[in-house]
Structure 1
Amino acid sequence: MPSPLTFSSQYLPGVTVIAVAGEVDITTAHLLDDYISRTRRHQGDHVVLDLSEVPYLGVSALHVLLHAHDVAYSNGASLHVAALQRGPAHLLSEIEGRLNVHESLEQAIRAALQAAAQPFPVGGGVS
Structure 2
Amino acid sequence: MTPLTFACQHMPGVTVISMAGDLDAAGADRLDAFISRARRQPGDHVVLDLSEVSLLGHSGLRVLLNVRALTRRHGGDLHLACLQESPARLLNNTGARPVLTVHHSVEQAILAALHIDQTS
What does residue 55 of structure 1 align with?
54
Cα drift, residue 27 of structure 1:
1.5
Paired with 1:79 and 1:105, the residues of 2 have a C-alpha distance of 12
What amino acid is aligned across from residue 56 of structure 1 in structure 2? L
User: What secondary structure, in the 3-state scheme, does the structure 1 residue paired with 2:49 have?
Assistant: strand
Asked if residue 78 in structure 1 is aligned to residue 80 in structure 2, the reply is no
What does residue 100 of structure 1 align with?
101
Percent pairwise identity? 54
Cα drift, residue 54 of structure 1:
0.2
The list of structure 1 runs, each at least 4 consecutive aligned residues, that deviate by more than 4 angstroms after superposition, is none
CA shift digits 1:86-113 (9 cap, x unpaired):
0001111231211111111111111012
What does residue 67 of structure 1 align with?
66
Structure (1/2) with the larger strand percentage? 2
Asked if residue 40 in structure 1 is aligned to residue 39 in structure 2, the reply is yes
Cα drift, residue 5 of structure 1:
0.8
What does residue 87 of structure 1 align with?
86
What does residue 124 of structure 1 align with?
none
What amino acid is aligned across from residue 29 of structure 2 in structure 1? H
Moved more, 89-98 or 79-88: 89-98
What does residue 120 of structure 1 align with?
none
Cα drift, residue 114 of structure 1:
1.5
CA shift digits 1:13-65 (9 cap, x unpaired):
10000001000111211001111111000001000000000000001111000
RMSD over aligned Cα, in angstroms?
1.0
Paired with 1:57 and 1:96, the residues of 2 have a C-alpha distance of 13
State the TM-score, normalized to the length of structure 1.
0.86
Cα drift, residue 3 of structure 1:
2.1
User: What secondary structure, in the 3-state scheme, does the structure 2 residue paired with 1:42 have?
Assistant: coil
What does residue 8 of structure 2 align with?
9
State the TM-score, normalized to the length of structure 2.
0.91
